[in-house]
Amino acid sequence: MKRLFATFLLLIGLIGSMAQAGEDATSSLYPVIPKAAGAPHPEGNDFMRINHKNLLKHDRDLTMRLGDREVKYSLKECIACHAVNGPDAQPVSVKSEKHFCRVCHDYAAVKVDCFQCHNSKPDPDLVKQLTMLPVKDRELAEYLEGASQ
């Protein structure tokens, strides 16, 4: 019984020291998160890492149920900005381990259901469409206004 207890203590000690080592240096298992094309999120990456799902869920209801197309967070834009290119210089789909969403979701072992219906690759027409939408005009106007001040 004593031996068993000693082994138990030893195990706890081992796990404890492993955890400490993990805190000092990033684990070699931690994913290498691909860089996005656009400007960084003003909210910060930590905020987005925790809240992206809630933001998307809220805004999807606004867009789909009420037709609000000027929402701040749209999956379409996430996908366009966070596209990762494969060896053929084309954006990879979620089938590839390199896909932006998969990098973290594989690490966290959380299944993504979005791509059963949504395309995991950016929409080639998106740039064209975005320039058509009034929201972009407004953003541009705001930007120019800011620049002139």
Partner 1 sequence: MKLPALNTPLRDLSEVDRREFFKAGGAVATVALSSGVTLMAFGGEASANADPGKRWGMLIDVNKCTSDCNACVTACSKENGWSAEEGSETDAQWIRKVDLTHKQTGREVSLPMMCQHCEDAPCVDVCPTEASFKRPDGIVLVDKHACIGCRFCMMACPYKARSFIHEPLTDQKSNAPRGQGTVESCTLCVHRVDAGGQPACVDACGTTGNGAMLFGDLNDPESDISKALKKFNSIGLRDDLRLNPGVRYSNL
Positions that interact with partner 1 (CB under 8 A): 43, 51, 54-55, 57-58, 60-62, 64-70, 72, 76, 79, 93, 116-119, 121-123, 125-126, 129, 132-133
Residue 35 CB, shortest distance to partner 1, in Å, is 22
Nearer to partner 1, 30 or 47 (CB): 47
Nearer to partner 1, 98 or 118 (CB): 118
Residue 44 CB, shortest distance to partner 1, in Å, is 12
What's the first-to-final CA gap in the chain, in angstroms?
Answer: 78
Nearer to partner 1, 58 or 105 (CB): 58
Nearer to partner 1, 69 or 108 (CB): 69
